[in-house]
Chain A
Amino acid sequence: QQQVKQSPQSLIVQKGGIPIINCAYENTAFDYFPWYQQFPGKGPALLIAIRPDVSEKKEGRFTISFNKSAKQFSLHIMDSQPGDSATYFCAAHQTGANNLFFGTGTRLTVIP
């Protein structure tokens, strides 16, 4: 059973576009929602994270929007660049648990 549902599976945008990746969850005990970026041949790397007491967090061109009532959160990449082409994973951490539950990933391609 997938604890965090992620969509779309893949995404192609033009340079400068704003790709949006969505995630949804059911478990209200989740208390931390990170996004990871993975390049081919590398491990996932923490990109940005949010806690459920805020609705939005920005770090550079990356923004997380969080809707606690809908149990949904999304990643927006402003002014996307070809170097942003990677696989993006959302994740959720449950209070008291000792692991992150990952979404299935979104492969983003930014065309020059």
Chain B
Amino acid sequence: DSGVTQTPKHLITATGQRVTLRCSPRSGDLSVYWYQQSLDQGLQFLIQYYNGEERAKGNILERFSAQQFPDLHSELNLSSLELGDSALYFCASSSSADLYGYTFGSGTRLTVV
């Protein structure tokens, strides 16, 4: 157990729908990162939050959004889902003392049908 908890582990939904992925970072970690992993593109950075504030944005679609709550858990919202959004979504966290030491959760496998 890495200490980063992601729920749900699996999600199957239809095109056009909206889903929410949840991440609880490791205790004490203020930074949360979201990554998308697909077969042909590896791990793609989506967005980072630090202590509730957005810090960096990567290749995140406008249909996707995220937030980090006061208790530091984060949610990634994916809307108007398309078949191509099917992927593994990972959350990672890091502490202020070791910003580069990312700890990943086990991921949420999203299948859009």
**A interface, CB within 8 angstroms of B:** 32, 34, 36, 41-46, 49, 89, 93, 97-105
Contacts and interface: CB of A to CB of B under 8 A. Distances in A.
The prevalent SS among residues of B at the interface is strand
A48 B77 CA distance: 32
Contact of A45 (B2, B55, B56, B100): B2
B25 interface: no
A100 B42 contact: no
A99 B90 CA distance: 13
Interface stretch (B11-19, B61-69, B79-87, B103-111): B103-111
16 contacts: A43-B106, A43-B107, A44-B104, A45-B2, A45-B104, A89-B42, A99-B56, A100-B33, A100-B45, A101-B45, A102-B42, A102-B45, A103-B42, A104-B41, A104-B42, A105-B43
A89 B103 CA distance: 14
Nearest to A44: B104
Interface residues of B, number: 25
Given A97-B56, A99-B48, A99-B58, A43 B42 contact: no
Nearest to B43: A102
Nearest to A51: B100
Nearest to B46: A99
Contacts of B43: 44, 89, 102, 105
Contacts of B56: 97-99
